[in-house]
Amino acid sequence: MGNDDAADTVRGWVRVWILDTTVERDRVVLWGPGGTVEYRHCPPSFLLTLPEPFRHWDLVAALEDSFEVEPVMVRTIHGEEEGWRVGAGRDVAAAVLRQTRYAARCYNVDVRRDQRYLAENGLLTCTGPGESRFSFWLDQDLTVLELTVDGDPSRASGVTGCTLNVDGRRRRLEGDEPTVIGDLFGLVETIDPDVVLFPNADTWTERLLAAARMHGIQATLSRNGRYVTLDSRSYFSYGRMYHRPKAMVPAGRLLIDTGQSFVHREGGLQGVLIAARITGLSPNRTARFTPGTLVSAFEVYTALSRGIAIPWKKIDTERVKTVAALRAADRGGMMFQPVPGIHEHVYQVDFTSLYPSIIVRHNLSPETIDAPDRPGFLAACLSPLLELRLETKRAKRTDAAIAGVDSVLKWMLVTCFGYTGYKNARFGRVDVHEAITRHAREALIAAKETAEVRGFRVLHGITDCLFVQGEPIAELKAAIEAESGYRTEVEVFDWVVFLPQRDGTGAYTWYYGRLRDGGVKVRGIMARRHDCPAYIQRFQHEALAMMGRERSIAGVRSLYPALRDLYAAYRDGLASAPIEDLVLSRRISTTNYTRRCPERGAVEAYRRAGVDVAPGMTIRYVVTDARAGLADCAWEAKSADRAHYRRLLEKAWHEVAAGVSVRSRSGIPLREPISMGEVTMPW
């Protein structure tokens, strides 16, 4: 393919279906399926404005002496002002800020250059001729290779086996490390896949490349031999610590870590590709980013495509407020305490994408808080994404393949609310965040009042949904939508159990119930927790499956003897349960525990095994002595503290028993239940 042909500069025209994008010096490289490639000239640059230009004429003159500088109008969400485009990168922008004592404003400094090129030229990744940015269909066949390497990548053992799968054709490679790695990279070169789905790829890749160099083998994961290194980091998000491992991202070929990628876990390959199309990012990066980073990238691409500059440093800082103003504004979401116990014939009325709908309906954006009549960037930006989500929700009812895309969009829209209050958000401002929660509180309270006026009993409310009993539900749904202006959906439960907290009051997000279609929906209980051992999850899944076959409270409670026998069987079988069924998988918040606990023992075990640990990492271990805080790595464990696992099993049983009987601490029935609201937990 040619380089920088004149015809290629036509906005929106490209010869390849863009599979990947990379940057090489002053060029953006557009990769297509099969390794086709186009090059586009795109040197680094940033935009600069000065509050009092006449005071900084010497700075502008110095920039003009060293770089290409041209005067331009810099457009932001707040308006336009005169400025300059400077043909330099981040280091020069940082020097400008320091020299002006941070009076200067710099834009587009840390925007990814390939994303900027695509946005400014109307191009998108994963999009062919006639395909819309906001379409959830893909019209491109890609060669997909599924790869699994034997063993644990965090351990230092050699590579002695792997499995490859292409279009259902499975190939097994075994032998010494040079043989396996040589055959592996030879097959990658022969098959030339566009996509490699590889569990723990970001941990394995560095080891595979190092082994290939040591044995004199040419590595073929990258189509041009180059890799972009993303450093490992631990970060705090929504009250939890997370860890992203170091990644070596190849050029021209998608390498997706199916064990680490949240986007792939939620949406599969199609979810990754659609999210890349929407955000204007390379799918390689899309697969490695969080929903919050994706929605930020989505906003950045939209802004750039509209000629809006992206601020480098935070501009819309929080204004000073009085204590009274803070108390009135910063109150968070609304939740109603649930009525603990098992309830029959319950409807869940759920507002569809409530928070982004509030942003769009009320025109909320940093620049509209003080000028509500002007068009808001954030509202206009999110409107088509919200409409796309509504389309995928409808489409997934008849096409299960769309469910993954819908899930990715859901998480992006969920995080767009939190991102408005994030201190470093490109288009965030805490006043917007507070306004959203205010409107959400008002909507939920109004919906509750509407339900009660119409004779419904409100059992529970969680931020954007209500659990109610009564009829006719269709009329209530229509009334809530008419009064609030927001769309709703209704789920029908034959019965639902709201579990109590330690003090006997209802837990907000801890429930399970049988849906009208026969499925069992669970939230918060051990069957849903990722850090619960497989043995205990299996017990709870079996128990819930038994309960799910009954459509009435009477039927569920009649199962008490059978459920108790099931629990007894699992309790008795725990002594001989295989060690691999007792492995705990937990994300650690720190590596420096000050008290004795199994997590501390697991971290020490990992270190003894030569594995580096970092906050936010997920570690797998078996508890060997809970009181002493001892644990072994999952791959080394030979014994387990069975008493500790018996206590976990008992907790799982109490969650099940709460739906069928009043229990005592010992698990012996205190009395037969009198009414459907009288269920207490045993602790």
Q: pTM, whole model, 2 decimals? A: 0.87
Omega before residue 33 within 30° of 0, cis: no
* Structure token digits, residue 593: 């525990």
How many structural domains does the chain have?
A: 3
Does residue 344 sit in the same domain as residue 476? Answer: yes
The Cα 172–Cα 215 span in angstroms is: 21
| Domain membership flag for residue 610 | no
Identify the pLDDT of residue 112.
Answer: 95
Q: Say whether both 331 and 291 belong to one domain.
A: no
Per-residue pLDDT of 316-334, as tens digits, reads 555 666 666 666 555 667 8
Out of 490, 507, 523, pick the residue that ends a domain.
523
Q: For position 466, what pLDDT does the model report?
A: 96
Domain boundary among 490, 523, 556: 523
CATH number of the domain where residue 282 is located: 3.30.420.10
Q: Which two tokens stand for residue 181?
A: 């790695």
**Is the same domain home to 75 and 189?**
no
As averages over each run of 10 residues, the pLDDT of the chain (683 residues) reads 37 73 95 93 96 90 95 95 96 95 94 96 87 88 95 78 94 95 96 96 92 95 93 73 85 95 95 96 95 93 96 69 62 82 96 94 92 93 95 92 94 84 76 90 95 96 94 97 95 95 86 95 91 95 96 94 96 96 92 90 92 88 95 93 96 92 39 29 28
Gap between the Cα atoms of 299 and 315, Å rounded: 16
Look at residues 523, 544, 569 and tell me which one is the last residue of a structural domain.
Answer: 523
Is the same domain home to 352 and 294?
A: no
Distance CA(653)–CA(673), nearest Å, equals: 17
Question: Strands (DSSP E) along 265-369, which ranges?
Answer: 335-336, 341-351
Classify residue 16 by its DSSP letter: S
Residues 287 and 332 in one domain: no
Q: Do you find a cis peptide bond into 472, omega within 30 degrees of 0?
A: yes
In a domain, 517, yes or no: yes
**What's the pLDDT score for residue 681?**
29
Q: Do both 341 and 436 map to the same domain? A: yes
182 and 292 housed in the same domain = yes
Compute CA distances 122 → 36, 177, 595, whole Å.
Answer: 20, 46, 56
Secondary structure class of 8 (helix, strand, coil): helix
Is 677 domain-assigned? no
User: Same domain for 356 and 493?
Assistant: yes
* Residues 165 and 95 occupy one common structural domain: no
Q: How many CB atoms lie within 10 A of CB 142?
A: 16
Residue 23, beta-bridge partner list: 28
* 348 & 451 share domain: yes
CATH code at position 88: 3.30.70
pLDDT at 242: 75
Domain that holds residue 52: 46-107
Residues 330 and 435 in one domain: yes
Cα separation of 82 and 75, whole Å?
9
User: Are residue 358 and residue 480 in the same domain, yes or no?
Assistant: yes
Structural domain contains residue 223? yes
User: Cβ distance 480 to 492 under 8 Å?
Assistant: no
Q: Residue 480 domain-assigned?
A: yes
8 Å CB contact between 440 and 334: yes
Give the phi and the psi of residue 542 in degrees, each rounded to 5: -65, -40
Domain for residue 502, yes or no? Answer: yes
